[in-house]
């Protein structure tokens, strides 16, 4: 038995609009990675034709679980300047920058994983 929570009607329309504007959409969710990938494909965020025949190593360029993502990008580092302004970055910002070019889906994410992604941007 399988259950499906269908996307809202406007999701695909918004996705198409964002794609036309070169807005790079991501789907980061606490759901199982396969569930999030299916939702991302339904929404038009992840191209099924691209990921369908990829090896697991290549698939990580587009979709991965949150723990793998976290292990790859490291922790949030904070640096305070002389005026008290705090700058945050990831301990492996370069790896994040590399992943961010193609990564569309992160599954099994909690709020801390989402924060890692936001800080990386």
Q: What is the pLDDT along the chain (121 residues), one digit of tens a residue?
A: 556 778 888 998 999 999 899 999 999 999 999 999 999 999 999 988 887 887 877 888 999 999 999 999 999 999 999 999 999 999 999 999 999 999 999 999 999 999 999 999 9
Q: Is the pTM of this model over 0.85?
A: yes
How confident is the model at residue 2, as a pLDDT?
59
For 34, half-sphere exposure in the C-beta direction (CA atoms, 13 angstrom radius) is 3
In Å, what is the CA distance from 47 to each residue of 20, 62, 86, 114? 15, 10, 38, 22
Q: Where are the domains of the chain?
A: 24-120
CA distance 31 to 79: 33
15, 44 contact by CB (below 8 A):
yes
φ/ψ of residue 2, rounded to 5: -135, 145
Give the closest residue to 69 by CA, choosing from 90, 41, 49.
90
Helices (H) and strands (E) in the chain, counts: 7, 5
How confident is the model at residue 27, as a pLDDT?
96
Handedness of CA 59, 31, 48, 15 (dihedral sign): negative
């Amino acid at each position: 038995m399988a259950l499906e929570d269908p996307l809202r009607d406007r999701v695909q329309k918004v996705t198409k609009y964002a794609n036309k504007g070169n807005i790079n959409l991501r789907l980061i969710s606490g759901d199982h990675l396969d569930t999030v990938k299916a939702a991302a494909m339904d929404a038009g965020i992840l191209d099924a034709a691209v990921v369908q025949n990829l090896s697991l190593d290549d698939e990580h360029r587009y979709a991965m679980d949150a723990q793998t993502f976290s292990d790859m990008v490291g922790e949030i580092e904070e640096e305070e300047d002389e005026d008290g302004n705090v700058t945050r970055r990831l301990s492996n910002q370069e790896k994040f920058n590399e992943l961010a070019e193609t990564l569309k889906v992160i599954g099994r994410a909690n709020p801390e994983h989402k924060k890692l992604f936001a800080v990386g941007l």
